[in-house]
Amino acid sequence: MLVDFNTLPEESRVWIYQANRSFSDEEISEIEDRLNIFIENWTAHGSDLQSGFTIKYKRFIIIALNQNLNKATGCSIDASVHFIQQLEKDYNVDLMDKMNVSYKQGDFIAYKTLLDFKKMAKDKAVSKNTIVFNNMVTNIAEFNENWEVPASESWHSRFLK
């Protein structure tokens, strides 16, 4: 059951998929249409899953699920992963690699491998004040408070001296 992302309770579970490139406006429109259809039909053992999504910075797909009504099951999570993998194929984009880092450079969102980010930290090309995206957040409350944070307040801090 598709609902507006902003109406979901704060404890709703989130999955964040970061793209290795920005989506075009046309791609975003198509992806939103496909997400609407997927989420409208997303179930767990035949029960509707109250879910919503948002796309941020033309680069992040965030899916949220109100687990107070029905929890995701192995099969429903598999279905969402297959959906994301199909988007990867159709748009020639990487959405599943968690070993990459996105961060802000002014108004631009940069995307680097973890190794490159570590090297940049060592070379002081990024600092504790660099705004990073902490895709490890698990619910909407954490997403709202701790998704876009200075590197010093994220798991990224371990690379900064």
What residues have CB less than 8 Å from 124, skipping those under 6 apart?
none
Entry pTM: 0.93
The torsion of the CA quartet 49, 86, 58, 39, rounded to 10 degrees, works out to -20
Domain ranges of the chain: 5-91, 100-159
Question: Phi/psi of residue 26, each to 5°?
Answer: -65, -45
Among left, alpha and beta (phi > 0; psi -120 to 50; other), residue 150 is beta
5-91 architecture in CATH?
Answer: 2-Layer Sandwich (3.30)
Task: Give me the average pLDDT of each 10-residue run along the chain (161 residues).
Answer: 95 96 97 96 85 97 92 89 97 92 92 92 92 95 96 89 71
Q: Residue 20 in contact with residue 43, Cβ under 8 Å?
A: no
* Contact (CB, 8 A) for 117 and 45: no
Contact by Cβ (8 Å): 5, 54: yes
Given this model, what pLDDT does residue 106 score? 86
pLDDT attached to residue 148 = 96
Could you identify the residue written with the tokens 């879910």? 51
Look at residue 50 in the predicted model and tell me its pLDDT: 93
pLDDT reported for residue 95? 96
**DSSP secondary structure letters along 125-142:** SS-TTSEEE-TT--BHHH
pLDDT of res. 49: 87
Task: Give the model's pLDDT for residue 47.
Answer: 80
| Rounded Cα–Cα distance for residues 159 and 139 (Å) | 25
CA-CA distance, 85 to 38, in Å (whole number)? 13
- 49 contacts: CB under 8 Å, gap ≥ 6: 1, 39, 42, 43, 65, 66, 69, 70, 72, 76
